[in-house]
Amino acid sequence: MSAKDKTARLVDVAERAGVSKATASNVFNRPEMVREEVRARVRAAAEAIGYAGPDPRGRMLSGGKVNAIGVATAEPLSYFFDDPFARLMMIGITEACDASGIGLSLVSSSAADSGSWSIPSALVDGLILFCLDDADRLIAEARERRLPFVALAFGDGDAGVPVVSIDNVAGAALAADHLAALGHRRFAVLTIELADGPGGRVGPADVAAALYATSRERVDGYFAALARHGVDTAPIPLFETNADPATIETALAALFAAPDPPTALLCQSDRIAMRALDWLRSRGISVPAEVSVVGFDGVPEAAATQPPLTTVAQPIRDLGRRAVEALLAPGPGTRREMLPVELVVRASTAPPKPA
């Protein structure tokens, strides 16, 4: 069979690569079962004869469109329901899907997930990639599907990837500018994940080498703004958290056991900031009289904390809507759209107490 003479089949790929049909099938459906060199040979054979891989829609549909898009994350599916940011993002996505009359599928592409409902097999016409972390793998899997996709990428990345995002550096600078203008000079930063690990005290080198761009960019934004206010950023303690009570509470305990605890906390998510408010209140540490707290995201729950949380608000629902619009109506070239953020000042921030 010469390349692209007829519709390429899996058996043709197997024959060209010199492997069994079962092995060729595993390369596309269960690649972890096949040695890397065999995977490479089979994929090269597929490319040579124009075989695009098994179409999962063909197992259920005789042809045409599924009329549904998928929202994929590297997190377990429970993330869409547990995280306040994800819940609000999904509202924007579902509103746009309802307006367009299309269905929606939630897809977990967790590295630990061996189930069949994943990016390679989900029955969808296109994908929105919720790239909070593991973005490179999500993008690689989407490209292999050869379906339209848009990344909700909260950081830098491949310039050839369609993206709807925000400017993390500028958003973080808003928070730091606000606190510095109030007169604060003793800061601490509670980050979201920098890399896959247990969390804890980190330094500038860890930030620079961060696997996840969002956390690095927000630290860069904080420090650039503080430097403009004449603040020496070198001594500022940085704690990586996993947005869970254990890592946040460990960080706070260390910070407020120090002789000169911070008067201002820069939290890289509202979820971290809300947990910090609970911890501080339980220890009798007054916010904002003793310490000011700023979050990042603008989730609705942040307005109902005690005291209400000052935060950098993303247009979360709009991000979801615009991602659907970009997926359904792609324009020429690679769409890379950045939406604005704003500082929402509430009662969790105030000038520091006089020395």
The answer, yes or no, to whether the previous bond of 288 is cis (omega within 30 of 0) is: yes
The pLDDT value given to residue 117:
62
The answer to whether residues 203 and 299 belong to one domain is yes
Between 3 and 307, the higher pLDDT residue: 307
Residue 350 lies in a domain: no
The pLDDT value given to residue 114:
45
The answer to whether residues 47 and 97 belong to one domain is no
Residue 30, domain extent: 10-54
d(CA 257, CA 301): 29
Q: Which two tokens stand for residue 4?
A: 């692209």
The answer to whether residues 199 and 305 belong to one domain is yes
CATH number of the domain encompassing residue 45 = 1.10.260
The answer to whether residues 95 and 212 belong to one domain is no
The pLDDT value given to residue 2:
44
The pLDDT value given to residue 142:
87
The pLDDT value given to residue 21:
83
The pLDDT value given to residue 303:
97
The answer to whether residues 241 and 136 belong to one domain is no
Q: Which residues pair with 344 in a beta bridge?
A: 311
The answer to whether residues 131 and 143 belong to one domain is yes
Q: Do strands 264-267 and 292-297 pair parallel, antiparallel, or not at all (unpaired)? A: parallel
The answer to whether residues 64 and 183 belong to one domain is no
Which range of 44-53, 63-72, 265-274 scores highest in mean pLDDT? It is 265-274
Q: Which two tokens stand for residue 246?
A: 């254990």
Sheet with 149-153, strands from edge to edge, namely 103-108, 68-73, 126-131, 149-153, 163-166, 336-339
pLDDT reading at 205 higher than 70: yes
d(CA 189, CA 179): 12
CATH number of the domain encompassing residue 135 = 3.40.50.2300
The pLDDT value given to residue 157:
58
Structural contact between residues 269 and 85, judged by C-beta atoms closer than 8 angstroms: yes
Task: Quickly state the pLDDT bin for 355 (edges 50, 70, 90).
Answer: confident
Q: Could you give the dihedral angle defined by the CA atoms of residues 276, 221, 334 and 297, in that order, rounded to the nearest 10 degrees? A: 20
The pLDDT value given to residue 268:
97
pLDDT reading at 300 higher than 70: yes
d(CA 125, CA 94): 16
The answer to whether residues 110 and 69 belong to one domain is yes
The answer to whether residues 172 and 162 belong to one domain is no
pLDDT reading at 192 higher than 70: yes
The answer to whether residues 239 and 284 belong to one domain is yes
The continuous run of DSSP H or E covering 227 comes out as helix 213-228
The pLDDT value given to residue 61:
38
| Burial bucket for residue 265 (CB in 10 Å: 0-12, 13-18, 19+) | buried
pLDDT, tens digit (0-9, with 9 covering 90-100), for 211-226 = 888 899 999 999 999 9
For the residues 53-78, what does the mean pLDDT come to? 68
Which residues 6+ apart lie within 8 Å of 115 measured at CB? 108
The pLDDT value given to residue 1:
46
The pLDDT value given to residue 4:
47
Residue 332 lies in a domain: yes
The pLDDT value given to residue 143:
87
pLDDT reading at 53 higher than 80: no
Between 255 and 66, the higher pLDDT residue: 255
Of 28-42, 79-93, 180-194, the range with the lowest mean pLDDT is 28-42
Q: What are phi and psi of 123, to 5 degrees?
A: -85, 85
For the residues 268-290, what does the mean pLDDT come to? 97
Residue 346 lies in a domain: no
Residue 351 lies in a domain: no
Which range of 31-45, 95-109, 174-188, 320-334 scores highest in mean pLDDT? It is 174-188
Task: Quickly state the pLDDT bin for 266 (edges 50, 70, 90).
Answer: very high
Task: Quickly state the pLDDT bin for 28 (edges 50, 70, 90).
Answer: confident
Helix (H), strand (E), coil (C) string for 52-68: CCCCHHHHCCCCCCCCE
Counted domains in the chain: 3
70 residue type, one letter: G
Residue 1 lies in a domain: no
The pLDDT value given to residue 130:
86
Task: Quickly state the pLDDT bin for 332 (edges 50, 70, 90).
Answer: low
The answer to whether residues 149 and 186 belong to one domain is no
Least Cα distance to 319 among 338, 298, 303 occurs for 338
The pLDDT value given to residue 50:
84
Residue 354 lies in a domain: no
For the residues 79-104, what does the mean pLDDT come to? 91
Average pLDDT along the chain: 88
d(CA 234, CA 250): 21
Task: Quickly state the pLDDT bin for 59 (edges 50, 70, 90).
Answer: very low
Residue 130 lies in a domain: yes
The answer to whether residues 290 and 332 belong to one domain is no
CA 88: distance to chain centroid?
Answer: 14
The pLDDT value given to residue 51:
85
pLDDT, tens digit (0-9, with 9 covering 90-100), for 103-155 = 999 988 765 444 456 888 888 889 999 876 667 788 888 888 888 899 986 55
Q: Which residues pair with 164 in a beta bridge?
A: 337
Residue 200 lies in a domain: yes
